[in-house]
Amino acid sequence: MLENVRCALCGADDTRLVAEIDALHIVRCRKCGLIYVNPRYPEGFLQEIYTEQYYDHDGIRNGLEFFGYDDYISDEQNIKITFSKRLKTIESLAHKGRLLDVGCATGFFLDLARSQGWEVLGSEVSEFSADYARERFNLDVRLGTLRQLSLDAGSFDVVTMWDVIEHVVDPLAELQEVWRILRPQGVLSIITPDSGSWMARLLGKRWEEFRRVREHIYFFSRRTMREMLQKAGLEVVRMESADKVFYLGPAIQRLKYYTWDGAVTSTAAKLVYRLGLDKVRVNVNPLTKMTVYARKTE
Ligand SMILES: [Zn+2]
């Protein structure tokens, strides 16, 4: 069932093992340094995992600790605060016009961008999420991967791709497709785990993003990301570590991914809930993801 793949950045087939998790191998290309899962599950299998449960774990938590989202929909307000900050950055870099959100999930960002005057379109592989976005927000969301949609060349001012590229089977082809549909000077925004971050290097096999090998198949560093963007004709204009607004309760619970002592974390979490502080909003920057803005140069 598993398939072997070559390095998506340089085409070499020469790797060393970085970690073995859930019987899958995370390897590093000896030639260019790109980290990826090899061998891996084929594309069809990867698409079938994005069901309703992917966005809400209640009731099926067993064995799915490192998978999907705990409760994406009820976190809407926090997600929108995070998104509105990102939109401000985008608006400082790009002409306001047409925006495509690749992997738009339940449409929270598209709804927000539209309210700020953008003309928006979404693509999504999860039927559950696409339906939710259409019914709740009346958004135009197309089911499928970016390349399956065959959108018009040069038709977007901005493409956002947040928490997506690490799931994509051919990331270079995906970025080349983004290049094709962007207008000249159009801007791409990517968020993805940063395998070169000191947090990732410190945690090694314990890094949460590595533990998600069933869904994450590429782990970029800032350097490999920049190189792949360049190959696709996109020039990096800004790179930073991604922050995110959480409620204090879930934020403390997430500490279990970053600490070796689960008992301390669970005691702290219980205390926060007992004191009624769990719904206090905090802005967390776990320093493990990068936000990248790149421009179509030609
Ligand atoms: Zn390589």
- Cα 78 to Cα 16: distance, rounded to the nearest angstrom: 39
Give distance in angstroms: CA of 11 to centre of ligand 1.
Answer: 6
Q: How many CB atoms lie within 10 A of CB 186?
A: 25
Instruction: For the chain, 298 residues long, give each residue's pLDDT as a single digit of tens.
Output: 889 999 999 999 999 999 998 889 999 999 999 999 999 988 766 555 555 555 554 434 334 444 455 566 667 888 888 899 999 999 999 999 999 999 999 999 999 999 999 999 999 998 989 999 999 999 999 999 999 999 999 999 999 999 999 999 999 999 999 999 999 999 999 999 999 988 888 888 888 788 787 788 999 999 999 999 999 999 999 999 877 766 777 777 766 666 556 676 777 778 878 888 777 777 777 678 999 999 998 6
Give per-residue burial for 26-60: e unless 16+ CB within 10 Å, then b: bbbbeebbbbbbbebbeeeebeebbeebbbbbeee
Please list all protein residues whose beta carbon sits less than 5 angstroms from ligand 1, which is an ion.
7, 9-10, 12, 29, 31-32, 34
Sign, CA torsion 189/194/278/68: positive
Give distance in angstroms: CA of 15 to centre of ligand 1.
Answer: 8
The secondary structure of the chain in percent helix, strand, coil, rounded to multiples of 5, reads: 40, 25, 35
Tell me the pTM.
0.84
Nearest C-alpha neighbor of 53 from the set 114, 2, 128: 128
Q: How many CB atoms lie within 10 A of CB 93?
A: 15
Give distance in angstroms: CA of 220 to centre of ligand 1.
Answer: 11
